[in-house]
């Protein structure tokens, strides 16, 4: 197995199973369900899905999180076989635990459809409340902000930026009542910054991780 196939086989397997399950639901054509079962029983697609979310030292990116949870949602609604649901619950829990510190709304609500007791629903709802509808990218600097506090206990699953102790307000107001720009832009120094569009990734990326 090549490295590229290994990195993509979990996500690709999840998407294919989801597509087939949805196709059968929409059309009622038995061929889609038959092929769905064949991929699980003969080609180990369910085994691939169990390790669908790649973590360090493998490559990962947030677009794969979005693609994954868009596929997870209909599959979790349509698959009712107890054995398959138990496997899917384990797989989606593994994926959710990686992204949970970011309080992603859509990912949390998707996970809650199969394991509501362990989904961080309050944080996901708060993320929606703080998500701005302003699509403009504002220039801002955060290096002077006293409310930007990094979590010293955070241990990332792969090398990357540190994590804040909590998501910072993104609704245009700081906790002190000071107006702040509503793009999720984080400055390290006066000349270094990164910008994330506020409504990208299905509300899946709050300002919970920014570089120092």
More confident residue, 18 or 3: 18
First-to-last alpha carbon distance for the chain, in angstroms, is 38
Mapped onto helix, strand or coil, the DSSP state of residue 188 is strand
The residues near 134 (Cβ < 8 Å, ≥ 6 apart) are: 172, 182, 183, 198
State the DSSP H helix or E strand holding residue 49, giving kind and residue range, or none if neither.
helix 45-50
Q: What is the DSSP letter of 169?
A: P
More confident residue, 29 or 158: 29
The predicted-structure confidence for 153-197, as pLDDT tens digits, reads as follows 766 655 566 666 665 555 444 444 444 443 333 333 333 333 333
Tokens of 117: 């007791």
1: pLDDT strictly greater than 70: no
Q: Say how far apart CA 4 and CA 111 lie, in whole Å.
A: 27
Write down the pTM of the prediction: 0.71
């Amino acid at each position: 197995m090549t490295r590229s196939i290994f990195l993509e086989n979990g996500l690709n397997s999840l998407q294919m199973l989801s597509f087939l399950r949805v196709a059968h639901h929409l059309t009622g054509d038995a061929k889609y369900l038959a092929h769905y079962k064949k991929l699980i029983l003969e080609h180990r697609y369910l085994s691939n899905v169990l390790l669908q979310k790649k973590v360090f030292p493998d490559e990962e990116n947030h677009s794969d999180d979005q693609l994954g949870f868009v596929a997870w949602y209909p599959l979790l609604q349509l698959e009712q076989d107890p054995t398959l649901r138990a496997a899917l619950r384990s797989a989606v829990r593994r994926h959710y635990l990686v992204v949970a510190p970011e309080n992603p709304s859509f990912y949390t609500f998707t996970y809650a459809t199969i394991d509501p007791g362990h989904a961080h629903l309050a944080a996901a709802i708060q993320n929606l409340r703080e998500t701005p509808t302003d699509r403009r990218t504002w220039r801002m600097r955060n290096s002077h902000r006293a409310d930007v506090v990094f979590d010293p206990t955070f241990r990332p699953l792969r090398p990357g930026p540190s994590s804040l102790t909590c998501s910072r307000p993104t609704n245009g107001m700081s906790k002190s009542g000071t107006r702040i720009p509503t793009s999720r832009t984080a400055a390290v120094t006066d000349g270094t910054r990164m910008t994330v569009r506020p409504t990208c990734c299905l509300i899946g990326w709050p300002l919970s991780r920014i570089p120092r």
